[in-house]
Amino acid sequence: MGYNQIADPDQRRLFVEQAVKNTAAAYKPSSFFDRATDFFLDELEWIDGNGLASVEGYLAADRVGRMAALQPSQRRAVWNIRKNYMATRAAGGYPYDWAALPAAVRTSLAADMTARRYKHIVVDEAQDLSPESIRSLAEAIPRDGSLTLFADYAQQIYGQRVSWRSCGLKVAKTEVFLDNHRNSPEIARLAIAMAQMPHFRDSADLVEPRAPQRAAGAKPTLVSYPSIEVEAAGVAASAATFGKVARVGVLARTRAEARLAVRGVAGVRMLHDKMQRWDIEAGVYAGTYHSAKGLEFDVVFLPFCGAARCPDSDTVAAFGYDEAASRESRLLYVGVTRARDELIITHTGDPTPLLPAAESGLYQVTT
């Protein structure tokens, strides 16, 4: 398998768009095929992530999450899109995409009788691995080896919404980590309240942390602004001030939003997904919630948490409100739990309904 045989996400999107058009042409006109490409991308990724190799298996599979269940005829249409996509992709010179790799790895390993290279595998941030990825790792170790996964289900942020318990593996031992040594009690209290909100809860895999271990600090601050421009300028000015003495994270949904909220701040370091190392000194760091996964800051700003922008309208259009709310609140949860001492959440207009209300007593509210 060569690296250049794997379709990258942009190529995958183009091939899927084409496959939706090709498949729709064989059906009577139906609004089903007008759904956002993100919806089809997500559904195909879910099929691969669960290792579903036949239409019967797909028709019988339960889907975790809040999206309205697809009708059997719609699932058959998705399966036809998948077949068309795979053929179009292969004809384009790409026998694989990233979602298809775990199944391909499993097939290779099943035929590979040579000694396994690693006896023990440890994975951090495993909540976003699909069942098929976990199975492929389990098959990469010898019978007397071990696979250890560290995962926080509340931080599952790559939309697949799979339960890692559904891998069918024999679990030798489960250890639950309940202590929170990172967040101040006030920040942890907000995170716990978020995890208890109805749109957040949807899985037995969620473990609620116990009361925080650290000394008391300040309540998270909720700041209201009259416009997005004033909000961005306000965040940039405060982040620059805090950044002289502390590690400050400015986290948003997109890089563009994060950049907007630190415009004009000298020496900002942008976070990115593939960071190999992370500077530990004081300063302002900015990036997406995704890129902040696993990191921590003394002070965190979460700008643009107004109801008009959160949940994101494109995500709502692709997946429906309930599923979008569930996904987006996990992103916010990752942002909230990056903060050690100070958390400043800002919004224009009403605050997002994905956070506990301004009147909950969990914040200092300022305008």
Residue numbers of the site for ligand ATP (CB under 6 A)? 152, 181-182, 294, 296, 337
First CA to last CA distance, the chain:
57
Quote the CA–CA distance of 199 and 264 in Å, as a whole number.
36
Nearer to ligand ATP by Cβ, of 176 and 266: the residue is 176
Q: Are 299 and 342 in contact (CB under 8 A)?
A: yes
Choice between 177 and 321, CB closer to ligand ATP: 177
CB of 126 to ligand ATP, least distance (A): 10
Residue nearer to ligand ATP on the CB measure, 110 or 215: 215
* Beta bridge partners of residue 306, listed in sequence order: 351
d(CA 341, CA 236): 19
Q: Which residue's CB is nearer to ligand ATP, number 100 or number 151?
A: 151
CA–CA dist 131, 205 (Å, integer): 14
Cβ within 8 Å of residue 50, ≥6 positions away: 61, 130, 131, 132, 162, 166
Which of 154, 190, 187 lies closest to 289 in space, CA to CA? 154
Is the peptide bond prior to 311 cis by the omega test (within 30 degrees of 0)? yes
HSE toward the beta carbon, residue 226, CA cutoff 13 A: 0
Q: At closest approach, how far in Å is the CB of 332 from ligand ATP?
A: 14
Give me the residues paired with residue 210 across strands. none
Structure tokens of 114?
Answer: 């040579």
Residue closer to ligand ATP (CB basis): 80 or 288: 288
Minimal distance in Å, beta carbon 72 to ligand ATP? Answer: 39
Residue closer to ligand ATP, measured from CB, 42 or 328:
328
Instruction: State the nearest-atom distance from the C-beta of 18 to ligand ATP, in Å.
Output: 38
Choose between 247 and 309: whose C-beta lies nearer to ligand ATP: 247
Q: Report the residue closest to ligand ATP, judged by CB.
A: 181
The owner of tokens 């019978």 is: 143
- State the minimum distance, in angstroms, from the CB of residue 212 to ligand ATP: 11
Say how far apart CA 242 and CA 55 lie, in whole Å. 55
As a whole number of angstroms, the longest Cα–Cα distance in the chain is 66
Residue 214 CB, nearest approach to ligand ATP (Å): 8
Nearer to ligand ATP by Cβ, of 202 and 298: the residue is 298
**What SS3 class is residue 146?**
strand
Point out which residues pair with 365 in neighbouring strands.
Answer: 222
Give the Cα separation of 247 and 340 in Å (integer): 10
Q: Give 64: exposed, middle or buried? Use CB within 10 Å, 0-12, 13-18, 19+.
A: middle
- Could you tell me the smallest distance in angstroms from the CB atom of residue 211 to ligand ATP? 15
Smallest gap from residue 278 Cβ to ligand ATP (A): 12
Is 191:300 a contact under the CB 8 Å cutoff? no
* Distance of closest approach, residue 153 Cβ to ligand ATP, in angstroms: 11
Task: CB nearer to ligand ATP: give 84 or 329.
Answer: 329
